[in-house]
Protein backbone atom coordinates (compact mmCIF):
# COMPACT_ATOMS: atom_id res chain seq x y z
CA UNK A 1 0.00 0.00 0.00
CA UNK A 2 2.88 2.40 0.68
CA UNK A 3 5.01 1.40 -2.27
CA UNK A 4 6.24 4.46 -4.21
CA UNK A 5 4.60 6.77 -1.69
CA UNK A 6 6.35 10.00 -0.67
CA UNK A 7 6.45 10.67 3.05
CA UNK A 8 6.47 14.02 4.78
CA UNK A 9 6.82 14.76 8.51
CA UNK A 10 6.53 18.56 8.34
CA UNK A 11 3.08 19.78 7.32
CA UNK A 12 4.63 22.87 5.71
CA UNK A 13 6.26 20.56 3.20
CA UNK A 14 3.11 18.55 2.46
CA UNK A 15 2.08 18.30 -1.20
CA UNK A 16 -0.59 16.65 -3.33
CA UNK A 17 -0.67 12.90 -2.80
CA UNK A 18 2.01 12.65 -0.10
CA UNK A 19 1.65 10.74 3.14
CA UNK A 20 1.97 12.80 6.28
CA UNK A 21 3.43 10.99 9.29
CA UNK A 22 2.58 12.62 12.63
CA UNK A 23 5.63 12.37 14.87
CA UNK A 24 5.90 13.52 18.45
CA UNK A 25 9.01 15.64 18.86
CA UNK A 26 10.55 17.41 21.82
CA UNK A 27 9.00 20.74 20.98
CA UNK A 28 5.79 19.87 19.20
CA UNK A 29 3.56 17.04 18.08
CA UNK A 30 2.80 16.31 14.42
CA UNK A 31 -0.76 15.35 15.37
CA UNK A 32 -1.52 19.08 15.69
CA UNK A 33 -0.66 19.58 12.05
CA UNK A 34 -2.62 16.74 10.45
CA UNK A 35 -5.40 19.02 9.29
CA UNK A 36 -2.96 21.44 7.66
CA UNK A 37 -1.15 18.58 5.88
CA UNK A 38 -4.44 17.21 4.53
CA UNK A 39 -5.49 20.68 3.38
CA UNK A 40 -2.26 20.90 1.46
CA UNK A 41 -3.18 17.70 -0.38
CA UNK A 42 -1.74 14.85 1.71
CA UNK A 43 -3.54 11.67 0.70
CA UNK A 44 -3.30 10.13 4.15
CA UNK A 45 -2.03 10.90 7.62
CA UNK A 46 -0.33 8.20 9.69
CA UNK A 47 -1.27 8.81 13.32
CA UNK A 48 -1.16 7.28 16.78
CA UNK A 49 -4.39 8.79 18.07
CA UNK A 50 -7.63 10.18 16.64
CA UNK A 51 -7.57 13.64 15.11
CA UNK A 52 -10.63 15.64 14.18
CA UNK A 53 -10.52 15.20 10.39
CA UNK A 54 -12.19 12.88 7.87
CA UNK A 55 -11.73 9.36 9.28
CA UNK A 56 -10.84 7.77 5.94
CA UNK A 57 -7.80 10.02 5.80
CA UNK A 58 -6.27 8.53 8.92
CA UNK A 59 -4.11 5.44 9.15
CA UNK A 60 -3.63 4.32 12.75
CA UNK A 61 -0.41 2.77 14.03
CA UNK A 62 0.88 2.23 17.54
CA UNK A 63 4.10 4.17 17.04
CA UNK A 64 4.59 6.46 14.04
CA UNK A 65 8.37 6.53 14.48
CA UNK A 66 8.59 2.74 14.42
CA UNK A 67 6.22 2.69 11.48
CA UNK A 68 8.66 4.76 9.40
CA UNK A 69 11.61 2.64 10.51
CA UNK A 70 9.87 -0.67 9.81
CA UNK A 71 8.75 0.43 6.38
CA UNK A 72 12.28 1.51 5.46
CA UNK A 73 13.59 -1.80 6.72
CA UNK A 74 11.09 -3.71 4.58
CA UNK A 75 12.22 -1.78 1.53
CA UNK A 76 15.79 -2.82 2.24
CA UNK A 77 14.81 -6.46 2.75
CA UNK A 78 13.06 -6.35 -0.62
CA UNK A 79 16.00 -4.97 -2.60
CA UNK A 80 18.86 -6.54 -0.59
CA UNK A 81 21.48 -3.84 -1.23
CA UNK A 82 25.00 -4.15 0.14
CA UNK A 83 25.09 -1.59 2.93
CA UNK A 84 28.09 0.49 3.94
CA UNK A 85 27.46 2.31 7.23
CA UNK A 86 29.77 5.22 8.06
CA UNK A 87 30.12 6.89 11.40
CA UNK A 88 32.77 8.87 13.26
CA UNK A 89 33.16 12.27 14.84
CA UNK A 90 34.54 13.94 11.73
CA UNK A 91 34.42 13.43 8.00
CA UNK A 92 31.31 11.27 7.54
CA UNK A 93 29.64 13.43 4.92
CA UNK A 94 32.75 13.90 2.82
CA UNK A 95 33.71 10.20 2.97
CA UNK A 96 30.20 9.14 2.01
CA UNK A 97 30.06 11.66 -0.84
CA UNK A 98 33.44 10.50 -2.14
CA UNK A 99 32.36 6.86 -2.25
CA UNK A 100 29.11 7.82 -3.91
CA UNK A 101 30.93 10.02 -6.42
CA UNK A 102 33.10 7.03 -7.40
CA UNK A 103 30.28 4.52 -7.68
CA UNK A 104 27.68 6.81 -9.27
CA UNK A 105 23.97 7.27 -8.60
CA UNK A 106 23.01 4.34 -10.82
CA UNK A 107 24.53 1.75 -8.55
CA UNK A 108 24.75 3.55 -5.22
CA UNK A 109 22.22 5.29 -3.01
CA UNK A 110 23.35 7.66 -0.26
CA UNK A 111 21.43 9.58 2.39
CA UNK A 112 21.91 13.35 2.51
CA UNK A 113 24.02 14.59 5.45
CA UNK A 114 21.09 16.04 7.32
CA UNK A 115 19.06 12.83 6.96
CA UNK A 116 21.35 10.71 9.09
CA UNK A 117 19.21 10.14 12.19
CA UNK A 118 16.56 7.66 13.30
CA UNK A 119 13.94 9.72 11.47
CA UNK A 120 15.99 11.21 8.64
CA UNK A 121 17.52 7.93 7.52
CA UNK A 122 14.24 6.01 7.08
CA UNK A 123 12.68 9.05 5.42
CA UNK A 124 15.45 9.30 2.86
CA UNK A 125 15.33 5.56 2.17
CA UNK A 126 11.56 5.60 1.73
CA UNK A 127 11.48 8.71 -0.44
CA UNK A 128 14.61 8.41 -2.54
CA UNK A 129 16.03 4.88 -2.61
CA UNK A 130 15.43 3.40 -6.06
CA UNK A 131 16.67 -0.15 -5.50
CA UNK A 132 20.36 0.43 -6.30
CA UNK A 133 22.64 -2.49 -5.34
CA UNK A 134 24.70 -0.40 -2.89
CA UNK A 135 23.71 1.89 -0.05
CA UNK A 136 26.30 4.25 1.38
CA UNK A 137 24.84 5.52 4.63
CA UNK A 138 26.06 8.19 6.96
CA UNK A 139 25.00 7.31 10.50
CA UNK A 140 25.05 10.04 13.14
CA UNK A 141 24.75 9.79 16.88
CA UNK A 142 23.69 12.17 19.58
CA UNK A 143 23.66 9.60 22.35
CA UNK A 144 24.41 5.91 22.85
CA UNK A 145 21.68 3.80 21.29
CA UNK A 146 21.21 6.01 18.22
CA UNK A 147 23.51 4.05 15.95
CA UNK A 148 22.12 0.71 17.13
CA UNK A 149 18.70 2.00 16.02
CA UNK A 150 20.05 3.00 12.62
CA UNK A 151 21.65 -0.43 12.24
CA UNK A 152 18.33 -2.10 13.00
CA UNK A 153 16.86 -0.24 10.02
CA UNK A 154 19.81 -0.71 7.66
CA UNK A 155 22.19 -3.30 9.03
CA UNK A 156 25.65 -2.73 7.51
CA UNK A 157 27.64 -5.37 5.64
CA UNK A 158 30.58 -3.01 5.99
CA UNK A 159 30.87 -0.72 9.02
CA UNK A 160 33.28 2.19 8.87
CA UNK A 161 34.35 3.97 12.05
CA UNK A 162 36.32 7.02 10.93
CA UNK A 163 37.41 8.44 14.26
CA UNK A 164 36.24 9.05 17.78
CA UNK A 165 36.68 12.63 18.89
CA UNK A 166 34.97 15.22 21.04
CA UNK A 167 32.30 16.62 18.69
CA UNK A 168 28.91 17.09 20.43
CA UNK A 169 30.29 15.75 23.70
CA UNK A 170 27.98 17.97 25.71
CA UNK A 171 24.98 16.32 24.07
CA UNK A 172 26.39 12.78 24.13
CA UNK A 173 27.34 12.99 27.81
CA UNK A 174 31.12 12.73 27.63
CA UNK A 175 33.96 11.04 25.76
CA UNK A 176 33.26 7.51 27.02
CA UNK A 177 29.65 7.84 25.87
CA UNK A 178 30.83 8.94 22.42
CA UNK A 179 33.12 5.94 22.10
CA UNK A 180 30.43 3.56 23.34
CA UNK A 181 27.83 5.03 21.00
CA UNK A 182 30.05 4.89 17.94
CA UNK A 183 31.14 1.31 18.58
CA UNK A 184 27.53 0.29 18.09
CA UNK A 185 28.16 0.40 14.36
CA UNK A 186 30.50 -2.57 14.81
CA UNK A 187 28.44 -4.40 17.41
CA UNK A 188 25.30 -4.18 15.29
CA UNK A 189 26.61 -4.98 11.82
CA UNK A 190 25.72 -8.22 10.02
CA UNK A 191 26.97 -11.50 11.40
CA UNK A 192 29.54 -11.91 8.62
CA UNK A 193 30.13 -8.18 8.17
CA UNK A 194 33.53 -6.50 8.03
CA UNK A 195 34.48 -3.45 10.06
CA UNK A 196 36.91 -0.79 8.84
CA UNK A 197 38.35 0.87 11.89
CA UNK A 198 40.53 3.87 12.57
CA UNK A 199 43.80 2.52 13.93
CA UNK A 200 43.22 4.03 17.36
CA UNK A 201 44.02 1.85 20.39
CA UNK A 202 40.97 3.20 22.21
CA UNK A 203 38.81 1.69 19.48
CA UNK A 204 40.78 -1.48 18.83
CA UNK A 205 40.96 -2.59 22.45
CA UNK A 206 37.16 -2.56 22.57
CA UNK A 207 36.68 -4.58 19.37
CA UNK A 208 37.96 -8.12 19.69
CA UNK A 209 35.88 -10.83 18.12
CA UNK A 210 34.74 -9.14 14.93
CA UNK A 211 36.39 -9.31 11.54
CA UNK A 212 38.07 -5.96 10.85
CA UNK A 213 40.76 -4.11 8.94
CA UNK A 214 42.38 -0.90 10.14
CA UNK A 215 43.40 2.38 8.52
CA UNK A 216 45.40 5.38 9.66
CA UNK A 217 48.21 7.83 9.12
CA UNK A 218 51.41 5.86 8.66
CA UNK A 219 49.79 2.96 10.50
CA UNK A 220 47.12 0.32 9.95
CA UNK A 221 46.38 -2.10 7.10
CA UNK A 222 45.36 0.78 4.82
CA UNK A 223 47.58 3.77 5.44
CA UNK A 224 48.34 7.22 4.21
CA UNK A 225 52.14 7.26 4.09
CA UNK A 226 52.77 10.88 3.04
CA UNK A 227 51.27 13.87 1.26
CA UNK A 228 52.23 17.22 -0.25
CA UNK A 229 50.31 20.23 -1.49
CA UNK A 230 50.94 21.62 -4.96
CA UNK A 231 49.02 24.80 -5.80
CA UNK A 232 45.41 23.81 -5.32
CA UNK A 233 45.97 20.07 -5.46
CA UNK A 234 47.12 17.38 -3.07
CA UNK A 235 49.41 14.48 -3.87
CA UNK A 236 49.09 11.58 -1.45
CA UNK A 237 50.64 8.14 -1.16
CA UNK A 238 48.88 5.09 0.24
CA UNK A 239 49.93 1.56 1.09
CA UNK A 240 47.29 -1.15 1.20
CA UNK A 241 47.41 -4.95 1.43
CA UNK A 242 46.77 -4.94 -2.34
CA UNK A 243 49.48 -2.49 -3.33
CA UNK A 244 50.61 1.11 -3.44
CA UNK A 245 48.60 4.05 -4.75
CA UNK A 246 49.66 7.55 -5.59
CA UNK A 247 46.67 9.85 -5.85
CA UNK A 248 46.56 13.43 -7.03
CA UNK A 249 43.45 15.16 -5.76
CA UNK A 250 42.19 18.24 -7.55
CA UNK A 251 41.65 20.03 -4.27
CA UNK A 252 43.39 20.58 -0.94
CA UNK A 253 42.44 17.91 1.58
CA UNK A 254 43.55 18.10 5.19
CA UNK A 255 45.34 15.17 6.77
CA UNK A 256 42.14 13.94 8.45
CA UNK A 257 40.35 13.78 5.14
CA UNK A 258 43.36 12.11 3.50
CA UNK A 259 43.38 9.44 6.21
CA UNK A 260 39.67 8.88 5.57
CA UNK A 261 40.56 8.12 1.95
CA UNK A 262 42.51 5.12 3.27
CA UNK A 263 39.22 3.90 4.78
CA UNK A 264 37.53 4.45 1.44
CA UNK A 265 40.16 2.34 -0.34
CA UNK A 266 39.43 -0.37 2.24
CA UNK A 267 35.70 -0.15 1.50
CA UNK A 268 36.34 -0.72 -2.20
CA UNK A 269 38.57 -3.70 -1.44
CA UNK A 270 36.32 -5.47 1.03
CA UNK A 271 33.40 -5.09 -1.36
CA UNK A 272 35.64 -6.30 -4.17
CA UNK A 273 34.79 -3.25 -6.26
CA UNK A 274 37.13 -2.23 -9.05
CA UNK A 275 36.84 1.51 -8.89
CA UNK A 276 38.35 4.03 -11.25
CA UNK A 277 40.44 6.02 -8.76
CA UNK A 278 40.63 9.04 -11.05
CA UNK A 279 37.04 9.61 -9.92
CA UNK A 280 38.28 9.85 -6.36
CA UNK A 281 40.94 12.30 -7.48
CA UNK A 282 38.39 14.59 -9.13
CA UNK A 283 36.14 14.90 -6.08
CA UNK A 284 35.71 18.47 -4.85
CA UNK A 285 34.11 19.18 -1.46
CA UNK A 286 30.99 21.24 -1.15
CA UNK A 287 31.23 24.76 0.29
CA UNK A 288 31.77 24.99 4.02
CA UNK A 289 33.36 21.53 4.40
CA UNK A 290 37.02 22.38 4.18
CA UNK A 291 36.85 23.96 0.74
CA UNK A 292 40.09 25.69 -0.17
CA UNK A 293 40.23 28.56 -2.64
CA UNK A 294 43.17 30.55 -3.94
CA UNK A 295 42.18 34.19 -4.18
CA UNK A 296 44.66 36.92 -5.08
CA UNK A 297 47.38 34.40 -4.10
CA UNK A 298 45.91 33.95 -0.64
CA UNK A 299 44.72 30.51 0.43
CA UNK A 300 41.21 30.82 1.83
CA UNK A 301 39.83 27.85 3.75
CA UNK A 302 36.06 27.81 4.08
CA UNK A 303 35.39 25.33 6.89
CA UNK A 304 32.31 27.04 8.23
CA UNK A 305 29.92 24.08 8.21
CA UNK A 306 30.95 22.68 11.56
CA UNK A 307 33.72 22.54 14.14
CA UNK A 308 35.28 20.32 16.77
CA UNK A 309 38.70 20.27 18.40
CA UNK A 310 39.87 17.49 16.08
CA UNK A 311 38.74 19.23 12.91
CA UNK A 312 40.37 22.48 14.13
CA UNK A 313 43.61 20.59 14.71
CA UNK A 314 43.82 19.20 11.18
CA UNK A 315 42.69 22.51 9.68
CA UNK A 316 45.48 24.40 11.46
CA UNK A 317 48.01 21.74 10.46
CA UNK A 318 47.08 22.20 6.82
CA UNK A 319 47.03 25.97 7.06
CA UNK A 320 50.63 25.89 8.33
CA UNK A 321 51.64 23.92 5.26
CA UNK A 322 49.82 26.24 2.86
CA UNK A 323 50.69 29.76 3.96
CA UNK A 324 53.83 31.69 4.79
CA UNK A 325 51.78 33.55 7.38
CA UNK A 326 48.62 31.99 8.79
CA UNK A 327 45.43 33.55 10.17
CA UNK A 328 42.06 32.32 11.31
CA UNK A 329 38.65 33.78 11.89
CA UNK A 330 37.09 31.55 14.50
CA UNK A 331 33.86 31.14 16.40
CA UNK A 332 32.52 28.86 19.13
CA UNK A 333 32.49 25.10 19.11
CA UNK A 334 28.90 24.34 20.09
CA UNK A 335 27.20 21.38 21.79
CA UNK A 336 29.97 21.02 24.35
CA UNK A 337 27.74 21.49 27.41
CA UNK A 338 29.73 21.29 30.63
CA UNK A 339 32.93 20.79 28.60
CA UNK A 340 32.59 24.14 26.85
CA UNK A 341 35.25 26.02 28.82
CA UNK A 342 37.72 23.15 28.60
CA UNK A 343 37.10 22.79 24.85
CA UNK A 344 37.70 26.49 24.21
CA UNK A 345 40.79 26.42 26.42
CA UNK A 346 42.19 23.65 24.22
CA UNK A 347 41.13 25.53 21.10
CA UNK A 348 43.14 28.53 22.29
CA UNK A 349 46.21 26.31 22.53
CA UNK A 350 45.75 24.95 19.00
CA UNK A 351 45.43 28.50 17.65
CA UNK A 352 48.71 29.57 19.29
CA UNK A 353 50.43 28.07 16.22
CA UNK A 354 49.00 30.80 13.97
CA UNK A 355 50.19 34.34 13.34
CA UNK A 356 46.89 35.97 14.17
CA UNK A 357 43.36 35.12 15.28
CA UNK A 358 40.12 37.02 14.76
CA UNK A 359 37.28 35.99 17.05
CA UNK A 360 33.75 36.27 15.69
CA UNK A 361 32.02 36.23 19.06
CA UNK A 362 28.43 36.69 17.99
CA UNK A 363 27.26 34.16 20.64
CA UNK A 364 29.97 34.92 23.25
CA UNK A 365 30.51 31.25 24.15
CA UNK A 366 34.05 31.54 22.79
CA UNK A 367 34.82 34.53 25.03
CA UNK A 368 36.37 32.19 27.61
CA UNK A 369 39.10 31.24 25.12
CA UNK A 370 42.56 32.51 25.94
CA UNK A 371 45.08 32.83 23.14
CA UNK A 372 47.98 35.26 22.82
CA UNK A 373 47.42 35.51 19.05
CA UNK A 374 44.00 37.19 19.22
CA UNK A 375 44.08 40.40 17.15
CA UNK A 376 40.43 41.32 17.34
CA UNK A 377 37.15 40.20 18.86
CA UNK A 378 33.97 41.39 17.22
CA UNK A 379 30.41 40.34 16.53
CA UNK A 380 30.33 42.42 13.34
CA UNK A 381 31.44 40.66 10.15
CA UNK A 382 32.26 44.04 8.48
CA UNK A 383 34.72 44.98 11.22
CA UNK A 384 36.52 41.65 11.00
CA UNK A 385 36.64 41.55 7.21
CA UNK A 386 37.95 45.12 6.91
CA UNK A 387 40.80 44.51 9.35
CA UNK A 388 41.62 41.12 7.84
CA UNK A 389 41.77 42.49 4.31
CA UNK A 390 44.14 45.25 5.42
CA UNK A 391 46.44 42.67 6.93
CA UNK A 392 46.58 39.94 4.29
CA UNK A 393 49.21 39.79 1.59
CA UNK A 394 50.11 37.21 -1.05
CA UNK A 395 51.16 33.74 0.14
CA UNK A 396 49.17 34.07 3.35
CA UNK A 397 46.55 31.50 4.35
CA UNK A 398 43.36 32.20 6.26
CA UNK A 399 40.86 29.80 7.83
CA UNK A 400 37.20 30.53 8.58
CA UNK A 401 35.81 28.05 11.07
CA UNK A 402 33.14 27.67 13.75
CA UNK A 403 30.17 25.47 14.53
CA UNK A 404 27.35 26.00 12.09
CA UNK A 405 25.04 27.68 14.60
CA UNK A 406 27.53 30.57 14.77
CA UNK A 407 26.79 31.56 11.17
CA UNK A 408 30.43 32.04 10.14
CA UNK A 409 29.36 31.81 6.50
CA UNK A 410 28.25 35.46 6.82
CA UNK A 411 31.85 36.44 7.45
CA UNK A 412 33.37 34.27 4.74
CA UNK A 413 30.78 35.38 2.17
CA UNK A 414 31.46 39.01 2.97
CA UNK A 415 35.19 38.38 2.72
CA UNK A 416 34.86 36.61 -0.61
CA UNK A 417 32.36 39.12 -2.01
CA UNK A 418 31.49 36.93 -4.98
CA UNK A 419 35.03 35.77 -5.64
CA UNK A 420 34.38 32.15 -4.68
CA UNK A 421 33.52 30.75 -8.12
P1 LIG B 1 30.72 15.17 9.30
O2 LIG B 1 29.64 14.80 8.35
O3 LIG B 1 31.19 14.00 10.11
O4 LIG B 1 30.46 16.38 10.12
P5 LIG B 1 32.28 16.55 7.20
O6 LIG B 1 32.68 15.79 6.00
O7 LIG B 1 31.15 17.52 7.08
O8 LIG B 1 31.99 15.50 8.37
O9 LIG B 1 33.58 17.27 7.78
C10 LIG B 1 33.52 17.98 8.99
C11 LIG B 1 34.85 18.50 9.40
O12 LIG B 1 35.68 17.43 9.82
C13 LIG B 1 35.63 19.25 8.36
O14 LIG B 1 36.16 20.39 8.99
C15 LIG B 1 36.75 18.28 7.98
O16 LIG B 1 37.90 18.96 7.56
C17 LIG B 1 36.99 17.56 9.28
N18 LIG B 1 37.57 16.21 9.20
C19 LIG B 1 37.35 15.27 8.27
N20 LIG B 1 38.01 14.13 8.57
C21 LIG B 1 38.68 14.35 9.75
C22 LIG B 1 39.51 13.56 10.60
N23 LIG B 1 39.81 12.30 10.29
N24 LIG B 1 40.01 14.13 11.71
C25 LIG B 1 39.72 15.39 12.04
N26 LIG B 1 38.92 16.19 11.29
C27 LIG B 1 38.39 15.68 10.14
Question: Residue whose CA is closest, atom 25 of ligand 1?
Answer: 311
CATH 3.40.1190.10 is right for the domain spanning 67-281: yes
Cα 310 to middle of ligand 1, angstroms: 8
- The pLDDT, as a whole number, for residue 286 is 77
- The pLDDT, as a whole number, for residue 110 is 98
| C-alpha neighbours within 13 Å on the C-beta side of residue 155 | 13
Reference 347, options 402, 391, 300, 407; nearest CA is 402
Question: Residue whose CA is closest, atom 19 of ligand 1?
Answer: 91
**10-residue mean pLDDT series, the chain (421 residues):** 92 97 92 97 97 96 97 97 96 96 97 91 97 97 94 98 88 87 96 96 88 96 97 97 97 96 98 95 88 95 95 97 97 95 97 98 95 97 97 98 96 85 52
Cα 74 to middle of ligand 1, angstroms: 32
33 lines ligand 1 (CB under 6 A): no
Give the Cα separation of 354 and 118 in Å (integer): 40
166 lines ligand 1 (CB under 6 A): no
Question: Residue whose CA is closest, atom 9 of ligand 1?
Answer: 91
Pocket probe for ligand 1: among 85, 88, 90, the residue whose CB has the most ligand atoms within 8 Å is 90
256 lines ligand 1 (CB under 6 A): yes
Give the Cα separation of 55 and 29 in Å (integer): 19
Cα 311 to middle of ligand 1, angstroms: 6
- The pLDDT, as a whole number, for residue 169 is 83
- The pLDDT, as a whole number, for residue 114 is 83
257 lines ligand 1 (CB under 6 A): yes
> Domain residues of the chain, as ranges?
7-61, 67-281, 291-415
CATH of the domain spanning 291-415 = 3.90.190.20
Give the Cα separation of 224 and 221 in Å (integer): 10
Pocket probe for ligand 1: among 85, 88, 94, the residue whose CB has the most ligand atoms within 8 Å is 94
| Measured CA distances, 344 to 349, 370, 376 (Å) | 9, 8, 17
- SS3 readout for the chain: CCCCCCEECCHHHCCCCCEEECCECCCCEHHHHHHHHHHCCCCEEEECCCCCCCHHHEEECCCHHHHHHHHHHHHHHHHCCEEEEEECCCCHHHHHHHHHHHHCCCCEEECCCCCCCCCHHHHHHHHHCCCCCEEEEECCCCCCCHHHHHHHHCCCCEEEECCCCCCCHHHHCCHHHHHHHHHHHHHCCCCCCEEEEECCHHHHCCCCCCCEEEEEECCCCEEEEEEEEECCEEEEEEEECCEEEEEEECCCCCHHHHHHHHHHHHHHHHCCCCCCHHHHHCCCCCCCCCEEEEECCEEEEEECCCCCHHHHHHHHHHHHHHCCEEEEEECCCCCCHHHHHHHHHHHHHHHCCCCEEEEECCCCHHHHCCCCCEEEEECCHHHHHHHHHHHCCCCEEEEEECCHHHCCHHHHHHHHCCCCC
Question: Residue whose CA is closest, atom 24 of ligand 1?
Answer: 256
Cα 94 to middle of ligand 1, angstroms: 7
| Measured CA distances, 2 to 20, 161, 236, 276, 296 (Å) | 12, 34, 47, 37, 55
- The pLDDT, as a whole number, for residue 421 is 52
Instruction: Give 32: exposed, middle or buried? Use CB within 10 Å, 0-12, 13-18, 19+.
Output: exposed
Beta-carbon contacts of 341 under 8 Å, excluding residues fewer than 6 positions away, are 368
- The pLDDT, as a whole number, for residue 197 is 97
CATH of the domain spanning 7-61 = 3.40.1390.10
Beta-carbon contacts of 185 under 8 Å, excluding residues fewer than 6 positions away, are 85, 87, 139, 147, 151, 156, 159, 160, 161, 195
Beta-carbon contacts of 235 under 8 Å, excluding residues fewer than 6 positions away, are 227, 228, 229, 246, 247, 248, 249
- The pLDDT, as a whole number, for residue 419 is 61
Cα 173 to middle of ligand 1, angstroms: 21
Beta-carbon contacts of 323 under 8 Å, excluding residues fewer than 6 positions away, are 298, 299, 395, 396, 397, 398
Strand partners, 300: 293, 398
Using alpha carbons only, what angle is made at residue 286 by residues 283 and 288, rounded to the nearest 5 degrees? 135
Amino acid sequence: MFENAKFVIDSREAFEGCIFVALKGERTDGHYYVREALEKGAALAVVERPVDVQKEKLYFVEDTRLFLQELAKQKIVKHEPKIVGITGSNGKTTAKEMIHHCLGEEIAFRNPGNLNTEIGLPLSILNDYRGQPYMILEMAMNKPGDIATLCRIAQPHVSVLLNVGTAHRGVAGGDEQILKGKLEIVENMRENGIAILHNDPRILERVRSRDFVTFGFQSGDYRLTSYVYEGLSTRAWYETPKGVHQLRFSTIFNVGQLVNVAAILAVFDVLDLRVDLTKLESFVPVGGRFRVLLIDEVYVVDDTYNASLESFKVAVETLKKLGERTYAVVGSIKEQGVYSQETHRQLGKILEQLDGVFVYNVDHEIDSMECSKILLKSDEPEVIVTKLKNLLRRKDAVLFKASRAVGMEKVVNLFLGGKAE
